[in-house]
Amino acid sequence: MKHPETPWWKQAVIYQIYPRSFCDSNGDGIGDLPGILSKLDYLQTLGIDAIWLSPVFRSPQDDNGYDISDYQDIDPIFGTLEDMDALIREAGKRGIRIIMDLVLNHSSDEHRWFKEARKSRDNPYHDFYIWRDGDGVTPPNDLKAGFGGSAWEWVPELGQYYFHQFSVKQPDLNWDNPALRAELYRMINWWTDRGVGGFRLDVVDHLGKDPDHGLMKCAPTLHPYIREMSRAAFQRPGLVTVGEAWSADVEEAKRYSNPDGSELSMVFQFEHMKIDQIPGKEKWERAPIDFVTLKKIFSRWQKELYGQGWNSLFWENHDLPRSVSRFADDGTYRVESAKMLAILLHGMQGTPYVYQGEELGMTNYDFRVGECRDIEILNMARERRAQGYSEEWIRDAIRRKGRDNARTPMQWDASPNAGFTTGEPWLVVNPNYREINAEDQVGRDDSVFACYQTLIRLRKELPVLTDGTYEPLLEEDARIFAYRRDDGKNRLLVVCNFFGESVENPLCGEEKGGRLLVSSYTEAGTDPDLLRPYEAKMLLFG
């Protein structure tokens, strides 16, 4: 068999932009495409290869753009199609590809298709959505929507319910209808022809479903649909595709990211993100982080996917709290621990993702409920209040898990509103922007930004990062995360103290003869047998 060349995205680092919170060019308080354009040099300095752009399509913004009313237009709050073309072009000049966010599980209820669909049962678009007859009193079954309430919404004019897994304004598309699928594939190709470099597929595991049998996702139709879509739209030179799949285990991941290219390039799975969640309960319920289990999760994915699929590496995205607040220390050791998380992750096999502000060590913000804007938080607060939960409990849940933590505006500099906008920002700016901002960090050797720069550069320089095997070390150790990579030519050793106290380093003998590539501390320690709080190092041998 002929060995295909390594695709670009196996050696790439992808940067996620949440456009609303990145950079506002016109003072309306909402980030936009011209704002992103003005920051391309910053991204080039960081060294990333591609931008995953959260949705900028036309949308009523019920779920900040994850409710699309026109897949082939840009929402006026973000700019125009011409702005999008300019972004693709200007990013391209800097070697940066644009990955768009395809929300194909549902559209907005304000999409033309849905407006048609609800006109009558025999409208040609009616079957683009999922309808069940009923009486307006008892929904077809007990399925619950992701953002609260029943998954079925009554439409009296039709005497039918429609199915929605997320908000009422996000009706599920009926993937069992071939005409709908053909429309979506046509739309995807239209974007690729415009110069887009790839796609992130929102909740891809939900595309195949069987609500009558209680299946919101992963129905037997799922993989056939993905393979059909791949043949129709994804198998084009250089195109990268990444599927968001909360439900994926290793076996499922091998299907999504089958190296034969029949489905997607890679999977974006969340097993390590469920570590502080109680299985079967909502994410708001607190569970302590079991460090040894966390290590085992990473090791299992590294080993079992090797040669059989491709994973994404991430700590953050727009749905998750800030990693330095969640897994490390956003106080005294913020800088060291943010670097530790970066080194730990970027030494592994897969495609690393950096979520805007992560490269600065941005932190969670202590929201008052009234300051939150996220539909998920607001619905949770309403439901929990009705169930008698205290305000303190609700606020604590938001502080730990709320999606708005990741969505506070990007901290560019120490000027008012962190240089994000000259107007009133749509969501509060974290007041720590005076200390934590890009202007302070770019060009400074000891910054979190510089650490990310180094890691991104190494990914391109060292094939062992892309191809090497993974061997976990000190698996049962309660404080240290360590592993070895090996590609036959080079060996890499990564050693991280995951906690805030110094700890004896059982691997200091192993480190002899290695070249230190990157560390979470700028100065060498006085005691070589000790790892300082959150000390992390990556060493190269051979």
For 91, the 3-state DSSP assignment is helix
Residue 507 interacting entry, from Ca ion, ligand GLC, none, C-beta within 5 to 8 Å by type: none
Q: Which residues bind Ca ion (CB under 5 A)?
A: 24, 26, 28, 30, 32
- Which residue, judged by CB position, is nearest to ligand GLC in the bound state? 66
- Interface mask toward ligand GLC for 309-328; x: CB under 6 A: ---------xx---------
- HSE, side-chain direction, 13 A CA sphere, residue 139: 20
Distances in Å between the Cα of 8 and the Cα atoms of 97, 192, 237 are 11, 17, 11
Name the active-site residue from 153, 202, 263, 329: 202
Does residue number 63 form part of the binding site for ligand GLC (CB under 6 A)?
yes
- Which residue, judged by CB position, is nearest to Ca ion in the bound state? 32
Does residue number 298 form part of the binding site for ligand GLC (CB under 6 A)?
no
**Is the Cβ of residue 32 or residue 205 nearer to Ca ion in the bound state?**
32
| Residue 62 falls in the annotated catalytic set | no
Tokens for 305, please give them. Answer: 């996917």
**Is the Cβ of residue 17 or residue 536 nearer to ligand GLC in the bound state?**
17
Shortest Cβ 487–Ca ion spacing (Å): 46
- The full 3-state SS of 112-147, as one line of letters, equals HHHHHHCCCCCCCCHHHECEEECCCCCCCCCCECCC
For 311, the 3-state DSSP assignment is strand
Name the active-site residue from 153, 244, 374, 404: 244
Q: Give first-to-last CA distance, the chain, whole Å.
A: 30
Single-letter amino acid code for the residue at 155: V
Give long-range contacts, CB 8 A cutoff, 24+ apart: 142-147: 143/211, 143/214, 143/216, 146/376, 147/63, 147/375, 147/376, 147/379
* Interacting residues with ligand GLC between 147 and 206 (CB under 6 A): 166, 202-203
**Is the Cβ of residue 17 or residue 30 nearer to Ca ion in the bound state?**
30
**Is the Cβ of residue 253 or residue 450 nearer to ligand GLC in the bound state?**
253
Does residue number 481 form part of the binding site for ligand GLC (CB under 6 A)?
no
Tell me the DSSP string of 352-383. Answer: EEEETTGGGT-------GGG---HHHHHHHHH
Shortest Cβ 304–ligand GLC spacing (Å): 24
Which residue carries 């539909």 as its tokens?
A: 375
Judged on CB neighbours under 10 Å (0-12, 13-18, 19+), 303 is middle
Residue 18 interacting entry, from ligand GLC, Ca ion, none, C-beta within 5 to 8 Å by type: none
Residue 319 interacting entry, from ligand GLC, Ca ion, none, C-beta within 5 to 8 Å by type: ligand GLC
| Residue 202 falls in the annotated catalytic set | yes
The residues that are catalytic are: 202, 244
Sites of contact with ligand GLC (CB under 6 A): 63, 66, 103, 166, 202-203, 244, 318-319
